[in-house]
Each structure stands twice: as C-alpha cells, then as structure tokens.
Amino acid sequence: MFPAEVPTSEASFRRYVEWLIRRHSQEVSTLEGLVRVCQGAYPTMVQSIAQRLMMSEPGAMRPNVLLQSSSSTGDLAAAASRLPLPHPLDFEWRFSTTGCRAIGDFLEAAARPGEAVALLGTPGLAEHFARLNVGGMPTLFERRDEACAALESISSLEVVRGSLHETSHAHAGRFAAAVADPPWYREISEVFLLQAARLLIPGGVLLFCAPALATRPGLPGERAHLTAVALAAGLVLERVEPSQIQYESPPFEIAALAAAGMPRFDCGWRHCDLLQFRRMPTETDSSPAQPNGHRENLTEWREVQVGRGRIRIDLSPASTAESSEGPLLASVVPGDVLDSVSNRDPRRVGVNVWTTTNRVFRTRDPAALLAGLHAVAGLDGASGVPTKDEHTVAATELIEQEIRLLRSIGIE
C-alpha cells in the first residue's frame, strides 16, 4: 500500500504517481498501458517520472514501457458530432463512444423503461442517448446555449437550458436516475451533487463522474469532502467504480499533448471514476441548502467561429488594461500551443486569445482583434474583401493556422 499520507502537496502527489508506476510497471508494456494504470495522472507527468525511474533504477521497468504505441488519433467522435467542438475555456471533456455505452449499461440497471433520467452537464451523452438501448426518457440540464441549440432538434430529448442551480427547482423529485459530469472542480461538483439530490425521487440513483485520484493533488481529501456533502443532502455512496468511464481527448488536449512532445497519443487515455449514489428520503425536505455557487470568471470572452474552429477573445476591462502594450498578437508560449490543459498552469494568466486547439496569445487590443476576426470571417456585415490593416492580417493568420491545425487531426 501507499503510505497513509494523502497526496496533497505537489511533491507527495508525484511520489504517489511514482508509487503507481512502480507497482504496475511490470504488468504493462507500453506508455499508453502505463498511463492507464496511473489513475488519471497526466501522460507527460507519467512519462517524466517513468523516465527518471528508468535512469536511476535500470531494470525497474520493462524496456519498452516508455515507448508510445499509438501513432494516430483515429476518427474522432467530436469531428462527426452535431455539437460545436469543445473549447478549452469550457473544461468540456466528452465521453468516448465506449464511455457512453458503459454509462448506458449502468443506467439500464438504474432506470426502468419509461422512467425519467436527468443528464446533468452531459451534452455528448445526450446526443448519443437514443442509441444506448436505455429505456429511460432523457432530460438534459446544460448551461451553454450553443450546446443546447445543437441538440434541440432531437425529438426524444428534453433540453433544459441554464445553470443547474437556477433550473433544477422546477423539476424537483422528477427523476429515477441521473448522470452528472461536472467540470472537475470542487465548487461546481458540489453544485451538481446538491442539484442532483433535488432532482431525484427517493430511491433514485445518481451516477456521478469524478476525477480519478491521481488526476491532480488533493483529490482524496476532495473526494471525502464531496461524499460528506452528498450524504448531508441525502445521497448515500453505494459503489465506486475506479477508472470506469472513458473520454475522448478533445482537440485542445490532442494539441497540448503534441506540443509537449506526445503527438498522436492515445485519445482514449482519460477515464473517470464512477460514483454511484442512492437518494434517501431526508427528514427535512427535498431541497438541500444551496452552495455559494460556482464562482464565474471575471472575464468576458467573445467567440468567433470559423468552420469548426472557435476563437475566443477576452474583452473584459482587466484584459484590455493588462495588455495596452506590445504587438497585436503576442506569443505567450513557444509554438503558441499551450502544452498543458491544467487549470493550475500559471501561464494561463494574462492570456486573452484562446482557440479550440489550445493556441493562446496576448493581444494589446482585444476589441480591434475581434473586429478583425469578424471582418475576415465575413461577420461584420461589410461586403467585399476586408482591407489589409494590422488587425485583419493578424486575424487572417489566426484563422488560417486554426483551420490547418484542426485539419491535421482530422477535423474539417
């Protein structure tokens, strides 16, 4: 067993991942295999720790374990989806087709035909629900307008637009089962748990997707906290299925891994733990106390779509004030693709241009660059070819590179 120490600090967290690598290294023969047994640890971290181990203790691992076996991302479900491509600022990781099927299997046992099933923040699952052979009637609760709009034509799906803490009360006690996949941060996870408790009937089942315990430091403590929050809201943890549900790397993660030296890495590497809760009747009432809610970012991102690409610019006063000097489009990282998808990455600070392929920049004039993007994308209402000023030149370059990078991973 790993020492009783809970991996909260970065150093103890790395020791925990090293322990996982040592424990499993003889069972696997490729880097992909090693990543899969490392409970959500990011591939670049697994690789660097394994490399160091290999150097310091030759023979500790099979020689090939550092070799990447995948050489293609294959056909991405995101490319064929009716949903817009995930944008890094939305923290949207969609289940893979295999992941959707696995959830379908759990749901089949949880909801009888005709019973109502709530899908909390799972637009990707909602899109595929009809193909899952689950008898339940799905209702999606989702706050992003563009995701809801893309799914509203599915006749077998009810879509409730808006933030869960505002929409759930009108549907309290309606559902026999729920699936929830919040962005993997503590506050918003609490919101999802409490609103799921409100939506379920007594005896109802919640399938809650939680980051595997080595996804980042501090998760064992966070898990214990969430379980206590759930219990107080009448949700009893019945079952934990580690690394059970598979995701498909979104284009921004594929690009980040490539920028970190792992091109075409297995895009099905990421899995979550599935926590199954049962809704107990509570003595008080069925509307648990509200948490403070998810702190919204003090940013005002505007989006321009170009083909499947999505380019966002932050127009908040802070973004403009911080960037009053420098070029119209300044690099933030070498090669312009941020090689991490972690919310804790300090290089995110000050970025005010962000694309679907995790390309990040700082612009001194967000409004002018946005106007340039509108002009080049033909969204400004002007007819004819836009003038070649500094803004349109920068915007053209931004758009062309985005389209090129998306094409390189099979997205037209």
Ligand X SMILES: C[S@@+](CC[C@H](N)C(=O)[O-])C[C@H]1O[C@@H](n2cnc3c(N)ncnc32)[C@H](O)[C@@H]1O
Residues forming the site for ligand X (CB under 6 A): 90-95, 121-125, 141-144, 147, 163-164, 181-183, 188, 191, 294
Q: Which is nearer to ligand X, 100 or 394 (CB)?
A: 100
- The residue among 236, 218, 217 whose CA lies nearest residue 228 is 236
Q: Which is nearer to ligand X, 42 or 93 (CB)?
A: 93
What is the nearest approach in angstroms of ligand X to the Cβ of residue 152?
15
**Residue 222 zone, left/alpha/beta (φ > 0; ψ -120 to 50; rest):** alpha
Q: Which is nearer to ligand X, 19 or 91 (CB)?
A: 91
What is the nearest approach in angstroms of ligand X to the Cβ of residue 369?
25
Transcribe 296-324 into DSSP letters.
PPS--EEEEEETTEEEEEE-SHHHHHHTS
What is the nearest approach in angstroms of ligand X to the Cβ of residue 49?
26
**Residue 68 zone, left/alpha/beta (φ > 0; ψ -120 to 50; rest):** beta
Task: State the Cα torsion 249-253-257-259 to the nearest 10°.
Answer: 150
- Give the count of beta carbons closer than 10 Å to the beta carbon of residue 79: 15
How many angstroms separate the CA atoms of 380 and 307, rounded? 16
361 three-state secondary structure: strand
What is the nearest approach in angstroms of ligand X to the Cβ of residue 385?
37
Contact 236, 278 (CB under 8 A): yes
Cβ-closest position to ligand X? 121
Percent helix / strand / coil, the chain, rounded to 5: 40, 20, 40
Q: Which residues of 122-144 are buried (b: 16+ CB within 10 A; e: fewer)?
A: bbbbbbbbeebebebbbbbbbbb
What is the nearest approach in angstroms of ligand X to the Cβ of residue 90?
6
What is the nearest approach in angstroms of ligand X to the Cβ of residue 102?
12
What is the nearest approach in angstroms of ligand X to the Cβ of residue 245?
8
Q: Which is nearer to ligand X, 140 or 373 (CB)?
A: 140
Q: Which is nearer to ligand X, 18 or 90 (CB)?
A: 90
Q: Which is nearer to ligand X, 88 or 218 (CB)?
A: 88
Q: Which is nearer to ligand X, 138 or 182 (CB)?
A: 182
